[in-house]
Amino acid sequence: MSRGSSVAYRLRPNKAVDRELFLSLLSRLSAKLQLEKHSYVGLGGPFLEDFRLIHARIGIVKMVCVESEQAVHRRQSFNRPIDSIQCVHAKLQEYLETTEFDAPVVLWLDFTEPKPVVSQIETFARQVSELPVFSVVRITLNANPASLGKPPAGQMAVTVPGEQGKAGGVETEVEWRLARFKERLGGSTPNGLTADSMTHRNFGPSLLEALRLCAEREILDHPERKLVWALATHYSDGQAMITATAVVVPDNDKDVQSIVETWTYFSTPKAPLRLDVPALSTIERLTMESTQDAKKRMGYELPASDMGEDPFEAFKRFYRVYPHFARVDL
């Protein structure tokens, strides 16, 4: 199970926005693809909240939750919100390798461990080339550049403030990470990467580009099909993450591409959405929703995160899917 999936969405507003965008995309595709006839396969955490929402919003009945941890699997079996969810105790990659799908699926590869990122990307690429056409495939990857490690103290150079030179070792931390990134990704490494590509703000887009290259290279061996990228995001709620969602369609299909390209939140790995919504009180949220110039009305700045987006502009762009949480006593 992804450890991140056990953290409540109310503590991760950007992840909540990302999930709402994915559900919005599925709703947009539902009529064309008849998604209620698809099966849904993914990881659910102990509470299976994604499964409940996909069933409620999209109408998918056949659902499979795959979980490798025995204790979490038992909780899932007990907490199933819908009886039709099949809880399988297995590793997701192993389940996919031993399962043949006869009909299209919605597959969510929800990975959070950073070290096996190459095998995770390869799993995505393999699925888009093997799953039945009109399947929807989504992946979540850890995009924290610190996962690449850092050089030993004696080897690390420090950029001298106000100067072009360096003091100390031969490489700065981001230069060292760039070398490790190229070693890890190998042939899927995008061209033109610089040390700046390994910063917190830019590492996610670099990883998304590696994912795109690997998937599109794989799909070249299947000229009868193509990938339509629909949604790509980069966000951080303490842990930087990226997501990418694509639809597998016949090579001559144009309808799906038209549907996604006219969507407000259409985005691709080359141009992902940066989700950086601020944490707000109820009165702040209501003010920002109802006022054209909320900053002037409120009279103060909101703190910016290390993703670097303007909090007022970020809220304005995603206010329709901004999460609303409330306490309910049962």
pLDDT attached to residue 160: 43
Task: Assess contact for 158 and 170: CB atoms under 8 A.
Answer: no
Q: What is the pTM of this model?
A: 0.90
End-to-end CA distance of the chain, in Å? 29
Cβ burial, residue 164 (10 Å; 0-12/13-18/19+): exposed
In this prediction, the residues of the chain whose per-residue pLDDT falls under 70 are 1-11, 154-170, 327-330
The pLDDT tens digits for 260-319 are 999 999 999 999 999 999 989 999 999 999 999 999 999 999 998 878 899 999 999 999
